[in-house]
Amino acid sequence: MAGNLRHFLKLRDLAPAEARALLDRAIALKRDPQTNRRPLTGRNLAMVFAKSSTRTRVSFEVGMAKLGGHAVMLPTAQTQLGREEPLADTARVLSRYCDAIMIRNDSQADQEELARHAGVPVINGLSESHHPCQLLADMQTWLEHRGDPGGKVAAWIGDGNNVCNSWIEASALFGFRLRVATPHQYRPDAAALAYAGRAVRLYDDPRAAAAGADLIVTDTFTSMGREAERAERIQILSAFQVDARTMAAAKADALFMHCLPAHRGEEVTAEVIDGPHSVVWDEAENRMWAQMALLEFLLCPAATSSPSPFA
Ligand code: CP
Ligand code: NVA
């Protein structure tokens, strides 16, 4: 195994300067796709999916193609992982064919197990507790629309889920304050909160969290794997719906973000997600540019140096 092997299982796997350089590179790639000279020609990405995906799958597959490489789709049910081949053995085998492994599954611990036995970088494409690739895209989107997030205020309103945990890590990494409004049953991960420290404050009242915020963000009330709890969750979380009154409490030019897929009428009203504050389509697009920068960073760091467009 290479001594300098890097994985991306949580946002905090990046140092603040690395994260910022990666976003600058993502923006440079988006502005001028010719800057990328296909640095991943001949390289291959294994994409292991134990859960559904639209954005993550397509953005990684097309991103690899744009960089000159190739992606192999591996739905776990169609692999021997689905028949209980150990993760460690799968990691060893995929590392003999591929240059990186992206995995979307339930268990962060399983991703860490995969990474321990892989000879190539492992990327978290979503687990039950983190969604770091989403946050690269979200931070790129915030930077593009409003400049450096440093010193600004974001409010997460809804379920304290995997995306929320990665937002919490982002607050420490990018230097903004995050208010997290959730019902007490659905608080975020204690380890992510401990990592972020004073950057994050918990709220019971969503309107108080939104007051004067630069950005409002939410996600589904029912994450993948929690479908059996859907009715109970909608009942408990309904007071945390992001609606026009939530946006009116925030700054006049506040952004609205959502990782998608969205459920209009549940966590957000159609008026907000389809309205003037919403940047959700830019977020979705930026999944691809940010992950292209991540793949370059992990597989050929020399390609990533781009002057900051915001310098
Ligand atoms: N936001 C996100 O990860 O979308 P998919 O589930 O479609 O990949
Ligand atoms: N929190 C959601 C995110 C989907 C991209 C889930 O885990 O299903």
Kindly name the residue from 138, 214, 219, 282 that is annotated as catalytic: 219
Catalytic residue, chosen from 99, 108, 117, 134, is 134
Beta bridge partners of 201: 179
For each of the chain's 311 residues, which pLDDT tens digit applies?
Answer: 345 799 999 999 999 999 999 999 999 999 986 766 799 999 999 999 999 999 999 999 999 999 999 999 999 999 999 999 999 999 999 999 999 999 999 999 999 999 999 999 999 999 999 999 999 999 999 999 999 999 999 999 999 999 999 999 999 999 999 999 999 999 999 999 999 999 999 999 999 999 999 999 999 999 999 999 999 999 999 999 999 999 999 999 999 999 999 999 999 999 999 999 999 999 999 999 999 999 999 999 776 655 555 44
Nearest CA to ligand 1 atom 7: 54
Residue 66: partners with Cβ closer than 8 Å, 6 or more residues away: 33, 36, 288, 292
pTM for this one? 0.96
DSSP string, 213-243: -SEEEE--SS-TT-GGGHHHHHHHHGGG-B-
Q: Please work out whether the CB of residue 73 comes within 6 Å of at least one atom of ligand 2.
A: no
Inter-CA distances, 184 with 127, 181, 204, Å: 22, 9, 7
Distance (Å) of CA 255 to CA 104, 157, 267, 285, 295:
28, 13, 16, 16, 28
In the sheet that holds 44-49, the strands lie side by side as: 70-75, 44-49, 100-104, 122-124
User: What are the backbone angles phi and psi of residue 124, rounded to the nearest 5°?
Assistant: -80, 110
Instruction: For 74-103, write each residue's pLDDT tens digit.
Output: 999 999 999 999 999 999 999 999 999 999
Q: Any idea which residue has 């993760």 for tokens?
A: 87
Q: How far is the CA of 237 from the centre of ligand 2 (A)?
A: 16
Active site residue 146: no
Neighbours of 8 (CB within 10 A): 24
For the chain, domains (ranges, CATH) are 2-131+287-299 (3.40.50.1370), 134-283 (3.40.50.1370)
Instruction: Using DSSP, state whether 255 is helix, strand or coil.
Output: strand
In degrees, rounded to 5, the angle at the alpha carbon of residue 300 between the alpha carbons of residues 294 and 304 is 60
